[in-house]
Structure 1
């Protein structure tokens, strides 16, 4: 039997004249050791995405051109060229992705993919993965790990449960960790910027033993900054050592660890009233510098640490086994004061004090075997896997009515009542999944088939009332896709995929909820002209979210399961090398959202009367989902070691409430960067680079989204950072 022949590696362009290019290859599947993650000789990078393979779409080394699904890959070079500060920054120029949806409040990690993920959840809960393993956390927060941990970020659009188990239907984000490399490489970065940002970062890797059998890498960063509003100091420490041990020609073991401590004084619930942000207030416009909490009470202290490994053994050209494992511990101590409702005078806001202490233990493991063989003229790449996830977290929550706040003349350091406990619970979630996938090739035609069976269980113990609740869910999800790659670089495809999310609890009559289901039909075309770095994709899709829980209007406090939301869209994405020194990234998304089934009556504020009104939800569009989203980033490198970058991001208006009564205005933002390779001017400065990057160059004041009455978020103000980096 003969194996599938891997596609030829794509070369990453070295943008500094006279320097060699680096091959971009990958031998990992969300787990294994990757090839050199960037060309260390090329100090000035083009910003064009060097990666042309994705591990997330199939858990195999499949070129993007041959993957029958819409996927965006953001390489380390791309992140470096734009000096990203969050995962949201990393994916901001990707089609189908709406980033920083809650402004500065969540540090840039509130992300929606194809319209889902922006429904009030913190961060990217439910669609965040690291090295192919789902990243959970406490019940209140997940994700929000520092982007300096990662060598690339991959966005998989659409349902992905066949390979990953429970996930939201819009898609997922898989961050690929930095891994040890065989060459001595490294960088040191000193950063200074607006909002008092001071940051240092170190990333160093190389062999530990003379034969290269043991490789090591140390990555770390520290920063201190604050947000645009008062009392918002933030400090982070990150340390991430890793080792790769080569146990012969066919076996490798990579150990990945990380520790991150966040000490954020500012409120993570700093939302603002609708009247005064997107609806005119007779008293004026509410300042984007308004802090709705109080320094007497606020804190956000989080520690998260993980340890895991990625093991690979190649038995033969026919069979390879991989096992990926990670344990994550998260501890959160959070206290917030937030606005509950604006009073009749339209300037005095009622507030509530909320606090919690949460601890979580997250254990996840993925085992799979890859079989590569041929049957006549047909090649097969079969993936058979078994994964298991277990999450246990405890939460102690307190609540009190806080003093009111004049949003136009705030007074701080008020006396805050001691909150009373109202919840003490322990949750245990467990999921086991069995999956099978076959990638079939005949000439230029690729057929992908996959299915998965999941079993999920849930237990909640209420320690105050001494009661507990248990439930079990199971689901079968399927996937099928067909692609044909023509010799001219065109690859049209069609696909069908499903997702599921367990729904715990029961309705008023005691009936357990079925799992929430997602399903998507997609058709698209990819194009990679032969011998070029350019890569273009276009796709259309119909995405449905079914068994959506809605409020039971007849029985307050209960839900019913009769909802469905439909997303239809068009995505265009281009990564084009116009010349050796000029590249661009462009993206456009058209998204049509609609609630197709719902028994809910939802509320919003009428901008004309300033009164709360109610409407039937069925037939309305989803709040906080823009119909149009577009971006363009252009990068130019001149022969004397200077790189200039400029970008523009546009988002159309969105509805600010579920009743579709108020609108959040459209906004356009401009970004820019300049990078100087000092070694191109003075030989003794080899490896030294100076760069300056600005987001929202013209300091546009805008509301990024509203997700209900009196819950609006201002977007990020102008943010300028300067980096001095030495790379070797």
Structure 2
């Protein structure tokens, strides 16, 4: 067996400068003249305040961009924070709900139980839990992931290679878990609504010992719901338990485990054909589904973690954490492929398959942060290392009857004999290993001027096979530098600029089944950040520019297969602007507003990804009605501009050779809510979604030679009654 390629990268002058600038300050301080400084007092909190304790649409700080707790204006990149208050107000019970309401993020629901996400035109694959995580194995989320466990979700847009090792210029999604409280708290929320939706979530937190040195929290939930889609049903069970203990006055140990099952009957695998054989667009009822009545897709996720935090004195602290993430997927699925005839509806064919997937990921991260003095100023240093191992095993067993002609979708009832799955077998078994070290310094250059410099060195090693293809790859000491600059214009306004490089290995293969070379490029961002109302209202104006080479683009499917092959595209640029305003507009109004414009072009200036909207906007707000006790009203709207997908050309008939283009016009989805505190500790809330009953296609993301899609949910409503102690 040939040895995997070993890639040795060459250091650049900028990398040398960043490494030197990020060295432990003690070395540099020895060369400086001793300086007598005024005494400073350093204090540290146990952690950032939980957003659930503030009932705010903003958070005080974020650690997603760096291991330091940086405020809104101290972070030289765009960061959106979806707080617990926002999730509760608009019943954002799953990850898709949250990210649909996040500035600059597109939720690509290509099927009912597998979702992709994009930001600034590129796939989001970096998902973290309290700042620790690994890229998603297949760049997607499987199952209906619930938000009951999380205090907030932080979304850092742009490349984040300094903290992840992979400089993907889309975004990093960081799920911040709920933590135990010293005070005793309890809540129960019961929901019922459209499509026989039934949901209950309980949350209990408080001190385990009389001294409060040991604290615990348990969150548990259950949901069962049907759908506007024919035959679809989803059942979820959620559990999260966490214990936090003060081992000493300066040492805190945290242990936690979360698990969720998401079991679906009659899911979509693939979706509806979007054009007829003559090239004209299809039009189906929103309830139309290609699923079989025997099909299912069950997903289980286990998330275990341990953390040890140690205060070291002088404002320094060290933290070590271990994360284990396991995902199991078991399914028997039914896919329909082909192109229907406009007159008869015939032309679709069966593709049944049985599929199992198991991924197990381990991540260990350790770092130390603290202040140091140099040339009369106080700066902050971060030093850390990360080790990770990801194992993926999956298996596809193909069903008998592939290629069987099916009736028109207008007549499809899901009735299809369940086949035996012995018509061939294929799969994957590979392991990814990653080791990295990182260093960063937040330099206080002058009273209004701060700089951040840093670099990460990453070693990657993959081995194994995937569907007959070797995954053997090795990269040594890949450098990911980072630089940022923040200048305070006044007490309320700051301007910033940041730069980072992009490096991302790819698993996609070309027509000859060879893996594509890694993506590489650069990411720039400049912006203005402001605070109002004593920091309770925050705004961001950002301009970004990204250049990438060798980005994978679907170029077709292998013969006698639905598997895609890809080609690398050079000279791809993404640039645009982002605007965001979040927080307390007045004593009675909370608001979150975001707008994104993105232009993605090829080297010759052509639009590269027309299926991604050039314009995205979100606006949601709640208003506590004056003159009433406990009445609040709110609404949210998300709007996107028109998108399209090139689907090839017509083959045969009077339109032979004509291009096929699927279009989705611009649209807006409006949701409203009303909440009333009708008794002490009791409240009722009504959420009505898609009030105008807008009909739209969820996604035009392309797989292989063409895209499929299905429609978003029509008008629906839910009522939640909750008790809080």
Aligned pairs for 1:220-369 within 5 A:
220-275=220-275, 280-281=280-281, 285-296=283-294, 298-345=295-342, 347-348=345-346, 349-369=348-368
- Which of residues 694, 698, 701 in structure 1 aligns to 2:695? 701
Give the equivalent residue in structure 1 for 2:53: 39
Give the equivalent residue in structure 1 for 2:639: 650
- Change in 2 beyond 3 A, CA 1:268/1:722: same
Give the equivalent residue in structure 2 for 1:661: 661
C-alpha distance in 1 between matches for 2:334 and 2:638: 32
Query: Could you tell me how far 1:530 is from its partner in structure 2?
Result: 5.3
C-alpha distance in 2 between matches for 1:458 and 1:438: 31
C-alpha distance in 2 between matches for 1:344 and 1:189: 49
C-alpha distance in 2 between matches for 1:286 and 1:553: 26
C-alpha distance in 2 between matches for 1:265 and 1:553: 31
- Which of residues 630, 649, 670 in structure 1 aligns to 2:617? 630
- Change in 2 beyond 3 A, CA 1:561/1:116: closer
- Change in 2 beyond 3 A, CA 1:656/1:243: same
Query: Could you tell me how far 1:695 is from its partner in structure 2?
Result: 1.9
Give the equivalent residue in structure 1 for 2:166: 166
C-alpha distance in 1 between matches for 2:614 and 2:41: 42
Check the 8 A contact 2:214/2:243 in 1, yes or no.
yes
Greater alpha carbon shift after TM alignment, 206-215 vs 424-433: 424-433
C-alpha distance in 2 between matches for 1:325 and 1:628: 39
Check the 8 A contact 1:277/1:703 in 2, yes or no.
no
SS at 1:53 equivalent: coil
Check the 8 A contact 1:342/1:710 in 2, yes or no.
no
Query: Could you tell me how far 1:552 is from its partner in structure 2?
Result: 7.8
Query: Could you tell me how far 1:74 is from its partner in structure 2?
Result: 1.1
Which deviations, in whole Å up to 9, do the C-alpha atoms of 1:365-386 show, x marking residues without a partner? 1111113112133322111111
Check the 8 A contact 2:57/2:584 in 1, yes or no.
no
Check the 8 A contact 1:515/1:547 in 2, yes or no.
yes
Check the 8 A contact 1:488/1:529 in 2, yes or no.
no
Tell whether 2:588 aligns with 1:581: yes
C-alpha distance in 2 between matches for 1:688 and 1:278: 58
Check the 8 A contact 1:675/1:690 in 2, yes or no.
yes
Give the equivalent residue in structure 2 for 1:456: 460
Query: Could you tell me how far 1:551 is from its partner in structure 2?
Result: 6.5
Aligned pairs for 1:151-162 within 5 A:
151-162=151-162
Which deviations, in whole Å up to 9, do the C-alpha atoms of 1:293-352 show, x marking residues without a partner? 2113x1111222122112111111243111121112222111221222213456222231
C-alpha distance in 2 between matches for 1:555 and 1:643: 55
Which deviations, in whole Å up to 9, do the C-alpha atoms of 1:480-507 show, x marking residues without a partner? 1101123330011111122322235876
- Change in 2 beyond 3 A, CA 1:678/1:277: farther
Query: Could you tell me how far 1:579 is from its partner in structure 2?
Result: 2.0
- Change in 2 beyond 3 A, CA 1:357/1:5: farther
Give the equivalent residue in structure 1 for 2:29: none
Q: Say what the alpha-carbon RMSD is for the aligned residues.
A: 2.9
Aligned pairs for 1:434-583 within 5 A:
434-441=437-444, 442-461=446-465, 469-474=471-476, 475-504=478-507, 513-529=516-532, 531-550=534-553, 561-583=568-590
- Change in 2 beyond 3 A, CA 1:2/1:266: farther
Query: Could you tell me how far 1:280 is from its partner in structure 2?
Result: 4.6
- Change in 2 beyond 3 A, CA 1:724/1:559: closer
C-alpha distance in 2 between matches for 1:669 and 1:431: 42
Check the 8 A contact 1:159/1:518 in 2, yes or no.
no
Tell whether 2:54 aligns with 1:51: no
- Change in 2 beyond 3 A, CA 1:522/1:262: same
Greater alpha carbon shift after TM alignment, 89-98 vs 148-157: 89-98
- Change in 2 beyond 3 A, CA 1:497/1:435: same
Check the 8 A contact 2:111/2:271 in 1, yes or no.
no
Tell whether 2:81 aligns with 1:84: no
Greater alpha carbon shift after TM alignment, 308-317 vs 708-717: 708-717
Tell whether 2:194 aligns with 1:188: no
C-alpha distance in 2 between matches for 1:525 and 1:26: 28
C-alpha distance in 2 between matches for 1:137 and 1:495: 26
Greater alpha carbon shift after TM alignment, 693-702 vs 562-571: 562-571
- Change in 2 beyond 3 A, CA 1:137/1:663: closer
C-alpha distance in 2 between matches for 1:142 and 1:634: 28
Query: Could you tell me how far 1:550 is from its partner in structure 2?
Result: 4.7
SS at 1:79 equivalent: helix
C-alpha distance in 1 between matches for 2:578 and 2:602: 21
Which deviations, in whole Å up to 9, do the C-alpha atoms of 1:552-576 show, x marking residues without a partner? 8999987554534221111111125
Tell whether 2:388 aligns with 1:382: no
Give the equivalent residue in structure 2 for 1:718: 715
- Change in 2 beyond 3 A, CA 1:583/1:327: closer
C-alpha distance in 1 between matches for 2:277 and 2:65: 40
Greater alpha carbon shift after TM alignment, 578-587 vs 71-80: 578-587
SS at 1:189 equivalent: strand
C-alpha distance in 2 between matches for 1:409 and 1:159: 47
C-alpha distance in 2 between matches for 1:402 and 1:555: 16
Greater alpha carbon shift after TM alignment, 545-554 vs 375-384: 545-554
- Change in 2 beyond 3 A, CA 1:644/1:374: same
Which deviations, in whole Å up to 9, do the C-alpha atoms of 1:18-72 show, x marking residues without a partner? xxxxxxx9754xxxxx4454238xxxx5xx5131311111121111111111000
C-alpha distance in 1 between matches for 2:216 and 2:383: 31
C-alpha distance in 2 between matches for 1:167 and 1:188: 41
SS at 2:189 equivalent: strand
Which deviations, in whole Å up to 9, do the C-alpha atoms of 1:513-559 show, x marking residues without a partner? 54222421111000102525211110011122322235689999875
Tell whether 2:666 aligns with 1:677: no
Give the equivalent residue in structure 2 for 1:176: 176
C-alpha distance in 2 between matches for 1:553 and 1:36: 47
- Change in 2 beyond 3 A, CA 1:98/1:424: closer
C-alpha distance in 1 between matches for 2:152 and 2:263: 26
Which TM-score applies when normalising by structure 2? 0.85
- Change in 2 beyond 3 A, CA 1:222/1:341: same
- Change in 2 beyond 3 A, CA 1:657/1:105: farther
SS at 1:38 equivalent: helix
Query: Could you tell me how far 1:5 is from its partner in structure 2?
Result: 8.1
- Change in 2 beyond 3 A, CA 1:95/1:278: farther
In structure 2, the gaps of 5 or more residues are 1-36, 649-659
Give the equivalent residue in structure 1 for 2:15: none
- Change in 2 beyond 3 A, CA 1:503/1:705: closer
Tell whether 2:139 aligns with 1:116: no
C-alpha distance in 1 between matches for 2:686 and 2:455: 48
